[in-house]
Amino acid sequence: MYTVDPSQIEGGHLGRFQSDTVGVNFPSSTPFGRGERPPYGSGDRGDGYNLVFPDLDSFKKWRDAEEETNMIDFVKVDFHLSKAALPRFKEHTKLVCARGDNGRQKYVKKFPDRIRKVPSRKMDGKTCAASISYKTYFDSDEVRVRCKYLLHISEHSHDIGPANFSFTRRGRKLAAEQALVSEKDIRSQRVRRGSKVPLESPQFSPAPRTTPSLLPHMISARALPQEDWARAVTGPERWDRIDRLFNLVRSRVGSFEYDSTNITLLEMSLLRLHSEVHTHRSSHGPFKMDQDSRDSVLSNIKTEPVE
């Protein structure tokens, strides 16, 4: 039986464990009679649980060191309590290599042609016999362990070490973090490329794409030109400029297709100016006009004489 010193757990190598079998002569025959067996869980050297840890924390520390050193993973497949009337142990847990099938029925893919983004760590048609079983007790904190792979590395039916790192939890986590970092780098590069604007190109913001029903509410005092720009040309000169600009835009209707949103904005601006004539007051703030009022104004425009 191997007794593990907690100070020697680092590294996960069996050669660092102390053995209390040195200088001890085991009897050549069992003290029990012919055909008799020792009580289950009595701790005899034949049950295979020959690795003893002082407590559960020491065992977990050793297990983590083994998984990290050999780049393997063990998963829990069985857990049960003692079924005897007088329990001989508290808990029994079995861990098996994560690369194996764990004794379960093989999963049949519903869509075999689909390729997984992350390859399965299960080996097709193979299993891994490596396992670790351990027991805890009521009257003691010690943990007795039986390992099926420490003395015989060949029990693993696959490569261990760096070749198996990508199939472990740590390997998959590292790959996911690297993929996330690379994706963020690509996005940041795209943002930097999109923010580069040539100096000679004018910087105009595109007109908002909205439905015509919402446009009347968008026409407000904020959308009108600034006062300092409007005062540059006043009076008849300004209206002459607007007239020439309107006729120039109108003359290109047949050869160029204007944005419907801009056309609607122009129409609503003219309706707003036209409404000021009939109401004898300037309108400020959002310009609201329902569909019936709009149709009525447009019909009156056809018959109203131009002064």
Whether pLDDT at 105 is above 70: no
pLDDT band for position 189 (cuts 50, 70, 90): confident
Give dist(CA 170, CA 172) in Å, integer.
6
pLDDT band for position 155 (cuts 50, 70, 90): low
Q: What is the pLDDT of residues 107-118, one digit of tens each?
A: 667 777 777 665
Looking at residue 194, its pLDDT comes to 67
Whether pLDDT at 151 is above 50: no
Q: What percent of the chain has pLDDT over 90?
A: 8
User: What are the structure tokens assigned to 153, written together?
Assistant: 């590395």
Q: Which residue has the higher pLDDT, 151 or 2?
A: 2
What does pTM read for this prediction? 0.43
Looking at residue 291, its pLDDT comes to 67
Give dist(CA 137, CA 89) in Å, integer.
5
